[in-house]
């Protein structure tokens, strides 16, 4: 009951704020009013985090750090999604969440006369991602609100324009990819939404061929993760949860590629193709090397060349190195086949994959084993290192 009161009061305050926003100038007037009304809501125990979320967004708008569109759309997306998703339970509630968030965001877009469907689309998916990641925590509205606002602010500042047909194609393709990954138990719900977001960005800022390259990595990684899985499990080195990927896996392996794609979409410079391919090749090489090498011969620590137990961070094997390099080569060849890269860039991509997977091993042996960073941080550094290596060959 208290939860229902919380979201309905937040929805009421959201609707009023959006309705009067275009009429109140300068922005600090609405910002101040929003903070005052949020203060009233804060006195109601069940609405405290919701009121803080709205107050923070109102403050950012009042200080002109957020545009009217981003402020209003963020409120509509987050609150609209939360309001509607309560009509169902389990995974189906996320479908309703997306519908409610999309209706809220598009309503604001039409009301304010702003043609920003890409910004709305990314905002909706990021909201769903945060919802799946933080669950029903009391501060979920606060976390989601800030995350969505920052994402929408970034994409609105980039100002990238995309045809509606292409955007719809990207959204359908990205969500279909995420859904089937979830159904095949290759990703959890957070992996579904983060994978869909990555797919949409790749298709919109580059084209569907870039998505195909990322799909190549996904297939390679998933297949190798399940390769001799029972033996890996008996050895105690198998991926947890049966190899199901979450948002942290997606972003650790794909964040550099996403950044490269956005930079390419804005600049159309060849060096960002190299950055993209180098990072994906590194992710593929590292995943395949780890999953194949762990069931091979005795590994050696890359920093000391001493024998170490299977599954040790920084442990490498000959078969793992070869398998990883082959995986990077497959990424490079795939890029040539779809017309993204030249044969020479494919060679650079393969070398980048080899470099990236060994950067992963060095970082794992020196930083991860000491508990300074986790596996996701190691993967992120490795993909950045491999991507940067490839980019250096194509600097202007």
The pLDDT tens digits for 249-306 are 899 999 999 999 999 999 999 999 999 999 999 999 999 998 887 777 788 889 888 8
pTM of the full structure: 0.88
Q: Assess whether the previous peptide bond of 26 is cis (omega < 30° from 0).
A: yes
Q: Which long-range contacts (CB under 8 A, 24 or more apart) does 141-145 make?
A: 141/10, 141/49, 141/50, 141/53, 141/78, 141/79, 141/82, 142/49, 142/50, 142/52, 142/53, 142/56, 144/53, 144/78, 145/53, 145/54, 145/56, 145/57, 145/74, 145/75, 145/78
Six-digit token string for 148: 């969505």
Contact 353, 282 (CB under 8 A): yes
pLDDT of residue 224: 83
Six-digit token string for 163: 């045809």
The domains of the chain are located at 2-159, 207-392
Radius of gyration of the chain, Cα coordinates, nearest whole angstrom? 23
Distance separating alpha carbons of residues 385 and 369, to the nearest angstrom: 19
Output the furthest CA–CA distance in the chain (Å, rounded). 71
How many angstroms separate the Cα of 299 from the Cα of each of 26, 250, 307, 327, 362?
65, 27, 6, 19, 14
Distance separating alpha carbons of residues 124 and 97, to the nearest angstrom: 9
Element (H, E) at 315: strand 315-316
Contacts of 378 (CB under 8 A, 6+ apart): 313, 360, 363, 364, 367, 368
What totals of helices (H) and strands (E) does the chain contain, helices first? 16, 2
**Helical residues (DSSP H) of 86-139, grouped into ranges:** 92-112, 117-134
- The per-residue pLDDT for range 145-202, each reduced to its tens digit, is 899 999 999 999 988 889 999 999 999 999 999 999 898 888 899 999 999 999 999 9
pLDDT of residue 1: 42
Residue 89: pLDDT above 80?
A: yes
Count Cα atoms within 13 angstroms, Cβ side, for 76. Answer: 28
Q: Kindly indicate the confidence band of residue 91, based on its pLDDT and cuts at 50, 70 and 90.
A: confident
- The per-residue pLDDT for range 6-51, each reduced to its tens digit, is 667 667 777 887 888 888 888 888 888 888 877 766 766 555 677 7
Specify the 3-state DSSP secondary structure of 263: helix
Does the CA dihedral 212-117-13-8 come out positive or negative?
Answer: negative
Six-digit token string for 35: 């903070």
Does the CA dihedral 314-318-322-327 come out positive or negative?
Answer: negative
């Amino acid at each position: 009951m208290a939860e229902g009161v919380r979201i309905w009061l937040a929805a009421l305050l959201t609707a009023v704020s959006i309705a009067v926003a275009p009429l109140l100038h300068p922005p600090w007037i609405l910002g101040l009013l929003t903070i005052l009304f949020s203060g009233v809501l804060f006195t109601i125990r069940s609405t405290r985090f919701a009121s803080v979320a709205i107050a923070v967004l109102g403050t950012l708008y009042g200080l002109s750090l957020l545009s009217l569109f981003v402020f209003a759309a963020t409120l509509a997306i987050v609150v609209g999604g939360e309001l509607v998703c309560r009509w169902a339970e389990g995974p189906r509630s996320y479908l309703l969440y997306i519908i409610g968030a999309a209706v809220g965001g598009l309503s604001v877009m039409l009301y304010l006369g702003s043609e920003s469907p890409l910004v709305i689309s990314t905002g909706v998916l990021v909201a769903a991602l945060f919802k799946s990641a933080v669950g029903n925590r009391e501060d979920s509205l606060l976390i989601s609100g800030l995350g969505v606002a920052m994402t929408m602010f970034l994409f609105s500042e980039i100002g990238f324009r995309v045809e509606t047909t292409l955007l719809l194609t990207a959204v359908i393709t990205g969500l279909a990819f995420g859904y089937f990954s979830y159904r095949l138990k290759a990703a959890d719900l957070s992996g579904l939404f983060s994978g869909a977001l990555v797919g949409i960005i790749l298709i919109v800022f580059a084209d569907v061929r870039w998505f195909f390259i990322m799909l190549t990595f996904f297939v390679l990684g998933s297949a190798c993760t399940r390769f001799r899985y029972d033996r890996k499990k008996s050895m105690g080195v198998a991926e947890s949860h049966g190899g199901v990927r979450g948002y942290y896996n997606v972003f650790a392996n794909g964040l550099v590629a996403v950044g490269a794609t956005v930079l390419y979409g804005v600049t159309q410079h060849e060096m960002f193709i190299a950055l993209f391919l180098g990072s994906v090749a590194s992710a593929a090489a590292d995943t395949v090397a780890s999953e194949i090498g762990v069931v091979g011969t005795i590994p050696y620590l890359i920093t000391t060349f001493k024998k170490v137990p299977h599954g040790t961070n920084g442990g490498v094997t000959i078969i793992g190195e070869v398998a990883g390099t082959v995986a990077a080569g497959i990424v490079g060849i795939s890029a040539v086949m779809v017309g993204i890269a030249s044969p020479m860039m494919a060679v650079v991509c393969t070398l980048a994959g080899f470099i990236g997977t060994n950067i992963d091993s060095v970082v794992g042996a020196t930083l991860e084993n000491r508990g300074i960073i986790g596996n996701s941080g190691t993967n992120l550094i490795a993909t950045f290192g491999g991507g940067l290596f490839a980019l250096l060959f194509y600097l202007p």
